[in-house]
């Protein structure tokens, strides 16, 4: 078992290693942490995405504006989630909005980004074939077995903002398989600066602890 802090930190480094910006990597870490808090596929979902990104099987959009919600082209759930958060929901105040999006890869990574809305007082309803998820700060409902598909034909998203008091309790530790943890670590280590005299003098590592 790993603390959610550990999981988030190493996931962020792994995300950076596969080509994400540091901002995107931070959001990936948050998404993985939030999925774990709701007892949903977390590291295992993003490891698949990371592997396809680093192998070149998937190409990340260079900017979020390249993603069009209604064009029917294949979309990566995580980047789609970032676009939705940035462009669709910031102006919602005690209102609701619904979206139906076609051809989504790794939809659970989309759900992971949207879970931050729940932690800020929203109610969300996210569905794809074989899976339904509804959550607010009051309750969580999960239906279906298709938790972590690689691709779905469509995803339905509905968000409602309301004022409520948080009463549900979240997980603070999560099980990660040894294989998935090793994959995360191997990616994360690619972001580390090799130990050298130059790296120590410029602030990496612990530096010279003993004065010659």
Q: What is the pLDDT of residues 141-158, one digit of tens each?
A: 999 999 999 999 999 999
At residue 81, the 3 state secondary structure works out as: helix
Look over the chain and give the mean of its residue pLDDT values, rounded to a whole number. Answer: 82
| Helix or strand holding residue 60 (H, E) | none
- pLDDT in the model for residue 67: 62
Q: What is the pLDDT of residue 69?
A: 66
First to last CA, the chain: 41
Q: Are 125 and 95 in contact (CB under 8 A)?
A: no
User: In whole angstroms, what is the distance from residue 211 CA to residue 102 CA?
Assistant: 61
- What is residue 91's DSSP assignment? T
CA angle 151, 152, 158 (to 5 degrees): 125
pLDDT level of residue 83 (50, 70, 90 thresholds): confident
pLDDT bucket at 204, cuts 50 / 70 / 90 = very low
Instruction: Provide the pLDDT confidence category of residue 61 given band limits of 50, 70 and 90.
Output: confident
| 98-107, 177-186, 192-201: segment of lowest average pLDDT | 192-201
Question: Is there a contact between 78 and 32 (Cβ–Cβ < 8 Å)?
Answer: no
Q: What is the pLDDT of residues 11-42, one digit of tens each?
A: 999 999 999 988 899 999 999 999 999 999 99
pLDDT at 87: 74
Q: Which two tokens stand for residue 63?
A: 């900017």
CB-count burial class (<10 Å; 0-12, 13-18, 19+) for 148: middle
pLDDT in tens, 97-111: 888 999 999 999 999
């Amino acid at each position: 078992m790993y603390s959610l802090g550990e999981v988030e930190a190493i996931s962020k480094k792994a995300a950076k290693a596969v080509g994400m910006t540091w901002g995107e990597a931070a959001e990936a870490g948050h998404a993985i942490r939030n999925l774990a808090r709701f007892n949903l596929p977390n590291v295992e979902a993003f490891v698949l995405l990371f592997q396809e990104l680093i192998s070149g099987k998937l190409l990340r959009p260079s900017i979020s504006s390249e993603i069009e919600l209604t064009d029917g082209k294949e979309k990566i759930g995580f980047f789609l989630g970032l676009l939705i958060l940035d462009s669709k929901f910031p102006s919602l105040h005690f209102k609701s909005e619904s979206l139906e999006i076609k051809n989504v890869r790794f939809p659970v990574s989309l759900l992971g980004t949207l879970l931050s809305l729940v932690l800020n007082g929203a109610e969300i309803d996210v569905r794809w074939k074989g899976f339904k998820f509804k959550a607010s700060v009051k309750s969580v409902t999960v239906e279906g077995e298709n938790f972590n598909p690689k691709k779905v034909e469509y995803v339905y998203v509905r968000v409602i903002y309301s004022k409520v008091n948080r009463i549900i309790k979240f997980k603070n530790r999560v099980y990660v398989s040894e294989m998935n943890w090793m994959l995360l670590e191997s990616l994360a280590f690619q972001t580390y600066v090799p130990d050298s005299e130059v790296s120590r003098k410029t602030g990496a590592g612990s530096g010279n602890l003993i004065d010659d």
